[in-house]
Amino acid sequence: MHDLQNVLYKVDPYASLKGRLVALSAGDIPDVPANWSVDDPFISYERNLFGLARQVLMWWTPARIEHEALRMAGDAEGPSILSEEAYAFRAIFMHIASLITESVHVIYSYSTKVTDASRGVAKKVEMFRDMIHEAVTTLERKAQQVEARAMDLRMRYDAQRLRGMLGALDVSPKLEQLIEAAQRDTESQEHLVRLTGEVSDVLKQTARDTGTIKFLADAWWDRVLDKDAEAKKLSTTLKTLGEKLTDATLRAFFAELGRRYMPP
């Protein structure tokens, strides 16, 4: 039995690549062997390539596609990361598919020199090829979603509002971590300071004026389901943080939340 949590587990494929595309980590494509065998480097390459494509697919969730579309609709220049990934994976796939096409016809011939084992391995090679093709096609569809959504956002909103929407997506998870940490009596002061700094850093990148700060506060609050409970958490958070709110942008953001949503 295959655990569903492991199937859905998303590993960040970009964590150690320093801005490089995941597809490029597949490396050079090996030559097709004269005699197919299960431990041939070409099959290992196909298996690894499919694994990389699957990691990219799982990483680009609907939420990350929306985030990338907002980034592209705002200040970003050039194609999206996902579009570049799709292009690179497609180029690699087309090359290995052509190599397979040029070689397997010999395996499927009626030559007495070709063993049943070789034909079985060739079949496996083709199955990997088909799996890679499906992954690449899905990546291309996701890339098209980014481009289409970015175009839709450009037509609907101005640049300032787009920056605010993107900032709201960035601020929300950091702010939620900070609020939850502030509720725990066992939380260390060092950890609270670090989380406060992370929220402040994101705000500085996004909140260029008072209007954007208000938009971020609204966007975050709209995501909250139980507003009464969250208002109480906000009150506790402000009391816990106290003098740690030294940054002007961070103070303005929490003040905006306090003026609008916290109970008297």
φ/ψ of residue 97, rounded to 5: -65, -40
Dihedral sign (CA 115, 132, 50, 9): negative
**Average predicted confidence (pLDDT) for the chain:** 77
Tell me the mean pLDDT in the region 100-121: 63
* % of the chain residues with pLDDT over 70: 69
Q: Which one of 17-21, 100-104, 227-231 scores highest in mean pLDDT?
A: 17-21
- Give the relative orientation of helices 41-59 and 81-107 as an angle to the nearest 10 degrees: 150
| C-alpha–C-alpha distance, residues 237 and 28, integer Å | 53
Separation of alpha carbons 128 and 99, rounded Å: 13
What digits encode the pLDDT tens for the residues 86-106? Answer: 999 999 999 999 988 877 655
Spelled out in words, what is the top-level CATH class assigned to the domain 159-261? Answer: mainly alpha
- pLDDT tens digits, one per residue of 51-68: 999 999 999 988 889 888
